[in-house]
Amino acid sequence: MTAARVSRSGKPAVVAHRGASGQAPEHTLAAYELALSQGADGLECDIRLTADGELVCIHDRTIDRTSDGTGPVSEMSLAQLREHDFGSWHGGKPASVLTLDELLTLTLDWRRPVRLFIETKHPVRFGSLVEVKLLEMLRRFGVATPPSADHSRAVVISFSSSGVWRIRRHAPMLPTILLGDTARVLGGSAATAVGATGIGPSVQTLRLHPELVDKAAAAGRVTYCWTVDEQRDVAMCAEIGVRWIATNHPADVRDWLVTV
């Protein structure tokens, strides 16, 4: 398979949503390694803080859906989370909880440039501490101050406008995407207020409001669309100029983009 660049001119770049989560358990090392082997241009993860201040890749507030355990992430230490299996529920092999540290290492050490899209979850028990801890880690990995948004290996995304604003305030060169599922949120004023460098509509919103892409481009912002798993939606995103497509099926989307 030919290695893909982070930026593929003329067509949307493919972001593996929680890894290749259509084929492997989400947020596991296996899901991300599969996505990378399939040629994904970017990886997406959700992060939460454990009770002892560690950043882990888990979407839900609790571990009930994606592990053999129960309980809120914020009330468990990393050691306690590691006692549970996060892989078998999806039919995969047993897997440990994935830390952001481990995922960043995988991303930055991969044999070709890949971009990591990191979603901070809100509202959460620890409030703004999640962005504080995230920036500390990105600085430790040397990716918090890229020369420009285009050359950044990390992108911070969030449905929380205050979360996006905290990143922009403390790491102004890091690209940020304000997520939303309505045109009202993403139409311009909210993204402008927090200084987001991109908008992130759902594919359902984009079907109804394709003009959002042109409006964002006119304001100097890229568009990141989630979660695009159908061929007709991939074709729509390519036609209207979406920059990043987040999908559970990166291999399929890459194949479909060949034909558009």
Distances (CA, A) of 185 to 66, 115, 210: 30, 25, 14
Structure tokens at 4: 């893909």
* Packing angle, helices 129-140 and 161-170, rounded to 10: 40
Which residues pair with residue 234 across a beta bridge?
none
The three-state secondary structure class of 9 is: coil
In the set 17, 27, 84, 90, the catalytic residue is: 17
Structure tokens at 245: 């497509």
E strands within 125-194? Answer: 154-158, 176-180
As a whole number of angstroms, the distance between CA 176 and CA 169 comes to 11
- Please report the sign of the dihedral spanned by the C-alpha atoms of residue 100, residue 101, residue 104, residue 105: negative
Catalytic status, residue 90? no
Structure tokens at 206: 């984009």
Catalytic status, residue 151? no
Residue 155 has phi, psi (to 5 degrees) of -130, 130
As a whole number of angstroms, the distance between CA 244 and CA 253 comes to 12
In the set 27, 59, 84, 249, the catalytic residue is: 59
Write out the catalytic residue numbers.
Answer: 17, 59
